Amino acid sequence: MATAIGIWSEVIKPGTPLVLTPAADLRLCNVSLGETLADPTGRTVVKVTHMSPVVPAEDEEEVDDEDDDLPDMKQCEIILCALTPGKIEQTLVDLVLQEEQEVLIEVIGKNEIHFVGNYIEQPVPFNSGDDEESDDEMNSEDEHDLRFVSSDVEVDPEDLESDVSRFEEMDDGEAAASKSLKRPRASDVMDTDEAPKSKAEKKLKGADGKAVEKKADAEKITAAADSKVDGKDKKSKKDKKKEKQEAKAAEPAALVEREVTGGLKIKDVKIGSGPKAVKGKTVGMRYIGKLTNGQQFDANTKGKPFTFHLGKGEVIRGWDEGIAGMQVGGERILTIPPAMGYGKRGTDGIPGNSTLVFEVKLLSLK
């Protein structure tokens, strides 16, 4: 069964066909008339034009060709639905548009048409034998590890490992379980007749890094360290308090929520690194979508990241404008007003006039 990984919507007006090349497999779910009708009685037809492979006739002779593996293609037109005000104003559909396969959607009539769908992740075909075993290993160890997400901007895996974010915390339980199943190092399980040395018997090191053999020398170093603490290097509580205040004052203004045109509110929780996301770039995202009452309606926190072309109208306007300016590794909280989300009508799981709250993280930028 396919898994929904992102919401898609579009408005198509008569005389302005949409040429669509999905960045991932896209399922069209609902087609409806617009809020305002240009023709209150007229019928409006939705037509989809796509390319389909030609199936040869049974009696047709096969011709050897170097390109036999590539089937001949032909242009096909289908009528997706027909809507009439007062009779049928919306209809559910189940049409999957394949990734990177170009289609043309056009409206015949006088009324504009609203489309709603979602990007999907198709199930991986079953593999037997060694492939199954290797797939199980990959799923058990790497499924929740964000360090292995590809990116055009190089990021040190050490930096990603130390980045404990809202998204990575979701899989802490699974990570702890996998660590407990790892075999201990051979040096940890080797049998030995020697009793462990006590702290007093272990060699001490001085400030220069050299080992201190004698107990008397160790005592001298300890005394010198104590005198240093009691002298100029010892910080008073007042000094420590002052340092904390200065550090707090030096915190970046990124943590302050700001409001931009249209009522969109943006709060940078973490600043990333590298080039910024601008219109036309392909971005790979993790996200959690909630209503203002805390109810979660959508999320992408593991598996294949949600990708789209920024500023091309493939997502809601709040995302197109709210993701702009982020850097890889950056995290934001977007508070999106209804006019920049799903408006008065809403969509599956989202009531009309809903303000949306998205926690987003930029994983890749191309």
Alpha-carbon distances, residue 42 vs 86, 105, 115, 324, 344 (angstroms): 10, 19, 19, 41, 24
Cα separation of 119 and 298, whole Å?
12
Of residues 115, 167, 308, 358, which has the active-site annotation?
Answer: 358
Of residues 298, 323, 336, 350, which has the active-site annotation?
Answer: 298
Query: Tokens at residue 88, please?
Result: 């049928």
Of residues 115, 167, 308, 342, which has the active-site annotation?
Answer: 342
Residue closest to 306 by CA, chosen among 121, 145, 107, 170: 121
Residue closest to 117 by CA, chosen among 130, 133, 105: 105
Of residues 119, 287, 306, 308, which has the active-site annotation?
Answer: 287
Of residues 163, 271, 297, 333, which has the active-site annotation?
Answer: 297
Beta bridge partners, 358, equal 289, 334
Per the annotation, the verdict on 126 as an active-site residue is no
Cβ distance 258 to 328 under 8 Å?
no
Per the annotation, the verdict on 297 as an active-site residue is yes
296 Cβ contact list (under 8 Å, min separation 6): 288, 289, 290
Of residues 5, 113, 316, 323, which has the active-site annotation?
Answer: 316
At 47, which amino acid appears? K
Per residue in 185-205, is it b (16+ CB within 10 Å) or e — as a string?
eeeeeeeeeeeeeeeeeeebe
Give the three-state DSSP class for 187.
helix
Query: Tokens at residue 141, please?
Result: 């160890």
In degrees, rounded to 5, the angle at the alpha carbon of residue 96 between the alpha carbons of residues 93 and 97 is 125
Per the annotation, the verdict on 342 as an active-site residue is yes
Per the annotation, the verdict on 64 as an active-site residue is no
Per the annotation, the verdict on 131 as an active-site residue is no
Over its C-alpha atoms, the chain yields an Rg (Å, rounded) of 30
Per the annotation, the verdict on 167 as an active-site residue is no
Give the residue numbers annotated as catalytic, written as ranges. Answer: 287, 297-298, 316, 342, 358
